[in-house]
Structure 1
Amino acid sequence: MISRRTMLQTASCGFGFLSLKALLQQSAAASPAAATPIQTRAKRIIFLCMSGGPAQMDTFDYKPQTGNKRHPGSVFEFKQRGESGLWVSELMPETAKHADRLCVINGMYCDTGNHAQSFLQLHTGEKLRKRPCMGSWISYGLGSENADLPSFVSLNAAKPSVYSSEFLPTRFAGTPIGTNGEDMSQATIRDISGSHLPPQAKRRQLDFVQSMNRAHLSNRDGDATLEGVIESMELAFRMQITAPHLLDLSNETDATLRRYRVGKKLSVGTCRPTDFGRQCLLARRLAEAGVRFIEVNHGGWDQHKNHRRDLKANCETVDAPIAALLEDLAARGLLEDTLLVWGGEFGRPGLVPEDGKDETGHNHKGFTFWLAGGGVKQGHIHGRTSETGDRAVEGKVHFRDLHATILHLMGLEHDRLTYVHGGRTHRLTGPEEANVVNEILA
């Protein structure tokens, strides 16, 4: 398969950056400007999506209590970790061991404090209308490293918007494995195997069906949906051999399963029971196999009441598996070209201890993400929120800037990665200004 990067470089020789459909048909360009090759730092992404809004002041953005009766602050103990001295909460003791690998962005902000709109903006760049998600844009831009596997996989997917390709060709949509709250030990790629026919007969059957599909396509020039069906059927056939082995953890050692806490589930308050460790281990295996974009989802961070109890349970669920993932990627030489991204759709305001309450709200004006590997600085903090943590005041990074930076690390220019749909040129970062956060690049 010709990668999208190869297509981009070919298009830059006088034709500009063409959309895939336009490039294949040698029709109009999606952008008139030539694309400038940029350094590729990451080959793949693992997005650790914490749905619901993690409380930044009790995880990675330390705000000491001051004695001011109306001054929110961190209600859990923090310590400076590693040689870098990054502040990390007591709730993340295993992740804290990798503090010198983290690049913490404490100046994140977005447009709205509503879950649905902000979650959509995090994934697609658009808060109101359905658009292709980040994984689909990257798959469209770069193609697949492994022709026998999808380029984009979503584990424990919360909703279709997480893996939708929308108006991009359907072959760039994510492949969901498990849905939010499902027992991940039973989750698989649906209809991936069957014993009703031997492999040779399946191939002959598919060839017959595909011959009819291609004949139909010859009379429907440029039907991207039908093209996607043809390619998806071929990929599905190849995946019947590769995917089942990849999802089978029986060849992993007991020590590995324990490090990832595979099989351990917690259900406290708003926290949904989930085998998050299995997701992280599958993410490592998918990354090793050449999947370009892997989203690992963990819900239940929408903690209004019982803040301390539920946040502690959530952190206990994700902490050790994330640390194991960081450890394994580094040990296998994958971390340097694998970008990890951790965060949710917004953050939380701090508690006011004197109120005697244990509940928080939403805060979209200042919250935290962290990145690791893939060409970002290690043991680094970028940005700052106010003393009360209510808003970003330095080094502000909007979701658009985060998207632009992620694309840049993958060797793509956000304003060149475009697609024409409905008479308009679209991109992940939208029509508004977006900037690569150069300060966090290694």
Structure 2
Amino acid sequence: MSIDRRALLAGTSCGFGYLALQALCHQQAFAATATASGLSAKRPPIAPRAKRVIFLCMSGGPAQMDTFDHKPQTTSKGHPGSVFAFDRHGESGLPISELLPETARHADQLCVINGMHADTGIHAQSFLQLHTGERLRKRPSLGSWISYGLGTENQNLPGFISLNTSKSSVYSSEFLPSIHNGTPIGVNGENMSTATINNIESDHLPMDAKRRQLDWVQSLNRQHVSSRAVDHQLNGVIESMELGFRMQAESPDLLDIRDETENTLRRYRVGKQTEQVGTCKVTDFGRQCLLARRFSEAGVRFVEVNHGSWDQHKNHRRDLRANCEATDAPIAALLDDLRQRGLLEDTLVIWGGEFGRPGLNPNDKKDETGHNANGFTFWLAGGGVKGGYVHGKTDATGARAVEGKVHFRDLHATILHLLGLPPNDLQYWHAGRHHRLTGPDGGKVVTDLFA
């Protein structure tokens, strides 16, 4: 049966109207959800394996072949590979570098992903993609998406905290409601030993007077909102002001680590790193890890700690050793405490950076490396993942991932799934279309990592 142009248009016009109405309804539904949700704890749509995340972000590109991806020499001529010794640890026999003896004690808790790969070896772009799923455009960060999807377990604290952070783009909620923005503690090289949340503590007024003052300001804000169309950013500012007031009740005590024992401070090596060695910056990583434990224990959904830089273009051996010494014991202490307190089973710990590095040839005595986004390593621990397990592999010289490949999109999808969030369904309507962390193509959940 033939259909002429006039009949086709007449028959489909209602269909076009329906599609437009459907899009509008979707937009309104997502807007209503965003407005009502705030930081209230939400029931995940699927059964979660983890409740919270601690992301140990190693900026600069850790050298995977001298930490977790052993590449011994296989020819007499010599080829790029590992220049530090490895040993097998735990009942699983997980290979770990001599540079990480304390982390090695937790070999049977580590789920090592040796098949990671990314789209670019440019630091800024790959770092942004690691955090937001996008290399070039500003998008909400991983922690903001998780806060948006799950809220926080403690209404007196943010859903997302970023320690020793840099650019706001890596902790920004961008077009998500601003209540899901990361709260930075220590920015752009600030002394982490004294870093705090600004403007939380003040004694210029008693608390009841502060409450009355805020109530008056908020009444003006609500009048302003009532005279405008739906404005999620303005609503987010109102919620953020309320959160800031509530944070006075708990944040100062959590930031004050003087109640920790001397043994705890020693295990975390708090304040022990006092001088920069090559690319290894002074970040008081031990204090960061201790604060991460305290905030996670108090109910913060996502905490990111940062150490850099692992960008060892020259003096690879010296600088890599310094970076490992700065982070090894604090990470082990964090894992120790999470296990002893029963938190590791539902806390997902993530370690990794924006890409890896090419290996060195031990025979040519060079001590310089570059960038490698084609094959590198992340590891996970706790939160329902396998322990003492290696997923994926790179080729004999560590140049590229060849088995069990995991892209950042897949890593993001896997993290969201472990938290009970359907990764390709967690979306937000903005600028006329739905956006999601896993991008237009979506991400694959790597179920092989699950215990």
After TM superposition, the score normalised by the length of structure 1 is 0.93
Equivalent positions of 1:43-442 (< 5 A) are 43-265=51-273, 266-442=275-451
Q: Show structure 1 runs of 5+ residues with no match.
A: 1-14, 27-34
SS of the equivalent of 2:250 reads helix
**Would the aligned equivalents of 1:17 and 1:417 in 2 still touch at CA under 8 Å?**
no
Question: Structure 1's 68 and 220: CA in aligned 2 closer, same or farther, altered over 3 A?
Answer: farther
State the match for 1:11 in structure 2: none
- Letter of the aligned partner of 1:22 in structure 2? A
Q: Show structure 2 runs of 5+ residues with no match.
A: 1-24, 37-42
**Would the aligned equivalents of 1:185 and 1:278 in 2 still touch at CA under 8 Å?**
yes
Q: C-alpha separation between the residues in 2 aligned to 1:109 and 1:332?
A: 34
Q: Deviations over 1:297-319 (max 9, x none)?
A: 11111110000000000000000
**Would the aligned equivalents of 1:262 and 1:276 in 2 still touch at CA under 8 Å?**
yes
Which is further off, 190-199 or 128-137?
A: 190-199
- Letter of the aligned partner of 1:115 in structure 2? H
Name the count of aligned residue pairs: 420
CA RMSD of aligned residues (A): 1.7
Q: C-alpha separation between the residues in 1 aligned to 2:133 and 2:307?
A: 20
State the match for 2:15 in structure 1: none
**Would the aligned equivalents of 2:30 and 2:429 in 1 still touch at CA under 8 Å?**
no
Q: C-alpha separation between the residues in 2 aligned to 1:368 and 1:224?
A: 38
Q: C-alpha separation between the residues in 2 aligned to 1:131 and 1:344?
A: 19
Q: C-alpha separation between the residues in 2 aligned to 1:157 and 1:268?
A: 20
- Structure 1 consecutive aligned stretches of length 4 or more whose deviation exceeds 4 Å: 15-20
Q: C-alpha separation between the residues in 1 aligned to 2:72 and 2:28?
A: 51
**Would the aligned equivalents of 2:146 and 2:416 in 1 still touch at CA under 8 Å?**
yes
Shift of 1:182: 2.1
- Letter of the aligned partner of 1:259 in structure 2? R
Shift of 1:37: 3.4
Shift of 1:235: 0.6
Question: Structure 1's 239 and 421: CA in aligned 2 closer, same or farther, altered over 3 A?
Answer: same
Q: C-alpha separation between the residues in 2 aligned to 1:147 and 1:36?
A: 17
- Letter of the aligned partner of 2:31 in structure 1? K
**Would the aligned equivalents of 2:290 and 2:334 in 1 still touch at CA under 8 Å?**
yes
State the match for 1:22 in structure 2: 32
Shift of 1:281: 0.2
Shift of 1:93: 0.3
Shift of 1:224: 1.1
After TM superposition, the score normalised by the length of structure 2 is 0.91
- Letter of the aligned partner of 2:71 in structure 1? K
Question: Structure 1's 25 and 403: CA in aligned 2 closer, same or farther, altered over 3 A?
Answer: closer
SS of the equivalent of 1:370 reads strand
Question: Structure 1's 257 and 193: CA in aligned 2 closer, same or farther, altered over 3 A?
Answer: same
Which is further off, 256-265 or 15-24?
A: 15-24
Shift of 1:36: 9.8
**Would the aligned equivalents of 1:108 and 1:367 in 2 still touch at CA under 8 Å?**
yes
Shift of 1:20: 5.0
Q: C-alpha separation between the residues in 2 aligned to 1:46 and 1:196?
A: 35
Shift of 1:70: 4.7
